[in-house]
Structure 1
Amino acid sequence: MTFQTVRVEEAAEVIAPDGSLVRPLCTLPERASFARFELAPEQVSRAVSHATVEEIWYVLGGAGRIWRAANGLDEITELVPGVCLTIPLGTTFQFRADPAGLLVVAVTTPAWPTTPGEARPRLGTW
């Protein structure tokens, strides 16, 4: 067993398959991972669905909207600080930032894989 501690300002910045700026933070190998991601003001992500992971999001700052669709459900949810939401396995989703930008943290379970192909491009609503 090892302990992991990561300061957000020291975490690497990567561009996620959906186009958002991500700072991967801590990981419990094969069980869960945690990251902070953001969209610049007025930016719209690419629509994707995940092949093997599910996520729980918590909005820290800014504002925007997320579109989620799966199993006949189709909804747009406002993203403002304090909102927590889920992205179940197989859900197609796309999100966009308002003029203030958008800052979110998320738990991914199992942990985000190192193999390519996890985020599958989909047709989005924006």
Structure 2
Amino acid sequence: MTFATIPLPAAPDVYAPDGAEVRLLVRAAGGTMAHFKLNPGEVSMAVTHRTVEELWFVIAGRGEMWRRDATREEVTPLVPGVSLSIPLGTEFQFKAAEDEAFEAVAITMPPWPGMDEAVHVQGRWASKVPV
């Protein structure tokens, strides 16, 4: 592994299994970093991960994150400066405010293995993403 420097790409590299725009950032042996974006009014598909957990940091916009595990369920307001965890086995879904895009940077540990990592689940809201 060597030094890596990657500027934020202007266009998405891929779309996540939940429908969010993904711009790939740096990676290391223990994890990957990516920028996620939902446009105004978009709602991701609800998913859970098979093998990874994530740490998110909101950098722009407003929205909400729904998370559920075997013992707890909550909806968290998403505004710049908020960080949150998505432990392994957590079902989650997020949405952007109607009037502005939502953006976050996330670290996935271990590194994101591929699109088969996410399993679609029943979420809190009806999804609204271009798929």
User: TM-score, normalising length from structure 1?
Assistant: 0.93
Deviation, 1:24, is: 1.1
Q: Measure, in 2, the Cα distance between the counterparts of 1:81 and 1:28.
A: 25
Instruction: Give the whole-Å Cα distance in 2 for the aligned partners of 1:12 and 1:81.
Output: 21
AA partner of residue 76 (structure 1):
V
Tell me by how many angstroms 1:12 deviates: 5.2
Deviation string, structure 1 residues 2-54 (Cα, Å, up to 9, x no partner): 2211111367521100000000111113x100000100000000000000000
Distance 2:79 2:10 in 1: 26
Number of equivalenced pairs: 124
Matched, 1:20 2:16: no
Amino acid in structure 2 at the alignment position of 1:74: E
Alignment of 1:1-126 (within 5 A): 1-9=1-9, 13-29=13-29, 31-98=30-97, 99-114=99-114, 116-126=115-125
User: What amino acid is the match of 1:38?
Assistant: K
1:66 CA drift (Å): 0.4
- Residue identity in the other structure for 1:26: V
% same residue: 48
Gaps in structure 2 of 5+ consecutive residues: 126-131
Q: Which has the higher strand share?
A: 1
Query: Amino acid of the residue matched to residue 22 of structure 1?
Result: V
Q: How large is the Cα RMSD of the aligned pairs?
A: 1.3
1:42 maps to amino acid = G
Q: 1:110 to 1:11 in 2, by over 3 A?
A: farther
